[in-house]
Amino acid sequence: MHHRTLGRTGIQVSPYALGALMFATSMGNTPEESGRLLHRALDAGINFIDTADAYADSEDVVGRALAGRRDEVVLATKFGRPTGPGVNQQGASRRWIVSAVEASLRRLRTDYIDLYQLHRPDPATDVEETLAALTDLISSGKVRAIGASGSTAASIVDAQWVAERRGLARFHTEQPVYSLLNRGIEREVLPTLQRFGMGTLVWGPLGQGLLTGRVRKDQGNDLKRGGLLRHVSDESRLDVVEKLIPLAAEAGLPLSHLAMAFTVAHPGVTSALIGVRTEQHLDALIDGLDVTLADDVLDRIDEIVPPGADIGQLDQAVQPPPLQDPGLRRRPWASRAVTERKPAA
């Protein structure tokens, strides 16, 4: 397997990374089943494992499974999303970071984390505070590299500038969503990451199941009925899938291989996260590791999904605060209703 350098860290990682959200026992697998999956991935050459403290007991399952093989793995985890009822059991403050990292180290049964990532932007915390706390973790040896997830191009630049001006460690990586259905990061995020030499670990390369070929328009399926993928009801996304399926067939590929090969073909992408629950699913994706798409296939994809375009809305995509809170988009006086108007003269 050909490995890639994670940004400018010098760390070598596989083009596919194993996402461990599915390792949480609440997702249906036993720790033993997840352990076998992890070992199968390692044996196939995947050396990059990504989890998070908010993924229920995923960190604990990963830590147990890595016993005796920790040195083979580039281990990434995340902090920032709520992990308890307390108002301070989340976010990017120094107070929470120093607590969160110790808890993750215990659950992962390791002395250090290769890549420690801010799971979601925290508008309430100054990025200087976050970077200062993470810099101390690097200095202490508990963390080797740091990253973020769900950042805008502007916030990526801001964090880099703050790090340079204050003499702090800078974010080495970013984790955005990217797939055949979600190409929005091609506009600004990916070029910005390339400009700063950052590694990019993308999630959702299979469109949360839509790009497996198992979800078809006007056909009932377990994923749809179970409500696991709310976005499968988005007709615009389903229409695109129906156009991609024959293209994959013409190229002699399963749709999932087309989707994964497209994602890792971008020069700004370091690794793509795969989340699997069964060894069969893992083996099917690993079989496509060596697939390279010809230029004519990539051109056809561009015709179906224009570069930089997002088709519909992915359920878990990060929404900046101004898009969630109407009060951040309106001046205070604009909210006053005009109840009376004088008649025109």
The bridge status of strand 12-13 relative to strand 4-5 is: antiparallel
Is 55 catalytic? The answer is yes
217-248 CB burial, b ≥16 within 10 A, e <16: eeeeeebbeeeebebbebeebbebbeebbebb
Catalytic residue among 55, 112, 116, 178: 55
How do beta strands 4-5 and 271-274 pair?
unpaired
The one-letter amino acid at 130:
T
Distance CA 186, CA 157 (A): 16
Name, in order, each residue with C-beta under 8 angstroms of 128's C-beta and a sequence gap of 6 or more: 162, 166, 168
Conformational region of residue 68, where left means phi above 0, alpha means psi within -120 to 50, and beta covers everything else: left
Q: Burial of 71 by CB count in 10 Å (0-12 exposed, 13-18 middle, 19+ buried)? A: exposed
φ/ψ of 77, rounded to 5, equals: -140, 175
Could you list the beta-strand ranges (E) of 89-131: 113-118
Q: How far apart are CA 35 and CA 17, in angstroms?
A: 15
CA torsion sign for 271, 275, 277, 281 is: negative
**DSSP assignment, residue 5?**
E
155 near 185, Cβ under 8 Å?
no
Alpha helices in 184-320 (DSSP H): 189-195, 222-225, 235-250, 255-265, 279-286, 295-304
Amino acid at 85: P
Q: Residue with structure tokens 């008649």?
A: 343
Task: Give the residue numbers annotated as catalytic, written as ranges.
Answer: 55
